[in-house]
Structure 1
């Protein structure tokens, strides 16, 4: 009888654990994010490395000291999908004016593209915060010179509030400092395209490296 009781307890425990693991608010390491929480990157290997794609409603740091290596074209599939869904996308203080023909060729609806110029870092961070929290922008990209932890936390909260994904381009030296950003990627050129080292990702572990094939034609001019 004791053996039967043990079997029932074990079975009941397994069933309870199975029910628990099926809950949407519980994530198991190595599995994709729940549906709706991730936006496809357009690159299968990067989707896998990020646990399903770009997380929605978060701040993403793209760390690089170089321009024109594919750091913006990396996002073209996402930008096209967002404008196709009726969302606006914002470029805040870009180092170069986005090249409209390249955006259009990638499927981005130019009528939903906002380019915001600013006078200093404070204006850049303020404009990005407004774009992320507005609920009108699905994605916003920005190039601030400096951003302290308090400013980054405000941006993260704005992204959560607006259900938007913010991409912050920063120097590689920032990798040595902690950040409230949900995702942090280190970008560098590779022979085959863009080398992406994942330093931090949502509900998972960093360390993996992905190479995204080179895209002909740049976005910035």
Structure 2
């Protein structure tokens, strides 16, 4: 009878450094909220920055803006950021915008039009172009209006923004607010009467959703 082969247990490498993982925020202690660095890209609105866990737009990530209709002030919300990025030489791409941007208004808001790119595409091509611009690492920010985007498509956009170290902004119908989303940040517009617009934070990565809304912008 032949002898049974000896079984040699596989070598075990060095155990992970728990302290290092806690510092890197890849894990956190049960019962505690994860520590979040205030390293976001400023929105240009001090009150909104104070509401967001990272002190601004999450970098290298997708932000969803949920709207009841076009033209409720969503671009006014972003213009301070877009102006700052283009003035620093960063490229801002608009993928299949529903309306042609009015150049004099964007310029008056401080956007350097030399660094503004507009990409026209049909619904299917727009989603592909949105993802490629995010992934390219050539853009500081990419704005898209994806009409055909399921959870898998949104996840690809989130991964692309992370890969390209880019700010991604997806404008979507408010009806999608009830659906889960992989976006790092979700803001939903709500009417605020004579005081202008208000934006509710529906989801924010790395912190609790604030109960207070950001108000004050007009369409």
**Interval of TM-score (by shorter of Structure 1 and Structure 2):** 0.7 to 0.9
- Which residue does the alignment assign to 2:10? none
Count how many residue pairs are aligned between Structure 1 and Structure 2.
196
Q: Conserved in 2, the CA contact under 8 Å of 1:91 and 1:140?
A: yes
| Cross-structure match for 1:93 | 96
**Match of 1:14?**
none
Where in structure 2 are there 5+ consecutive unaligned residues?
A: 1-18
The equivalent of 2:171 in structure 1 is: 169
Are 1:213 and 2:216 matched, yes or no?
yes
Residues 1:112 and 2:115 aligned together = yes
SS at match of 1:39: coil
Q: Is the 8 A contact 2:25 2:34 kept in 1?
A: no
Q: Could you tell me whether the CA contact under 8 Å between 2:91 and 2:117 is conserved in 1?
A: yes
**Structural mapping, 1:38-117, within 5 Å:** 38-51=40-53, 52-117=55-120
Following TM superposition, by how much is the alpha carbon of 1:212 offset from its aligned partner in structure 2, in angstroms?
A: 3.6
In 1, are the aligned partners of 2:95 and 2:126 still within 8 Å (CA)? Answer: yes
Aligned-partner SS, 1:86: coil
**1:21 offset after TM fit, Å?**
11
Displacement after TM superposition at 1:93 (Å): 1.1
Larger radius of gyration: 2
Greater share of residues in helix: 1
TM-score, normalising length: structure 1: 0.81
Output the CA distance in 2 between the equivalents of 1:209 and 1:97.
33
The question of whether the paired residues in 2 share the 8 Å contact of 1:187 and 1:194 is answered with: yes
Unmatched 5+ stretches in structure 1:
1-18
**Runs (4+) off by over 2 Å:** 19-31, 188-191, 207-215
Q: Give SS of 2:107's match.
A: helix
Structure 2: how far apart are the matches of 1:84 and 1:212?
26
TM-score for the superposition, normalised by structure 2 = 0.81
Contact 1:196/1:209 (<8 A) preserved = no
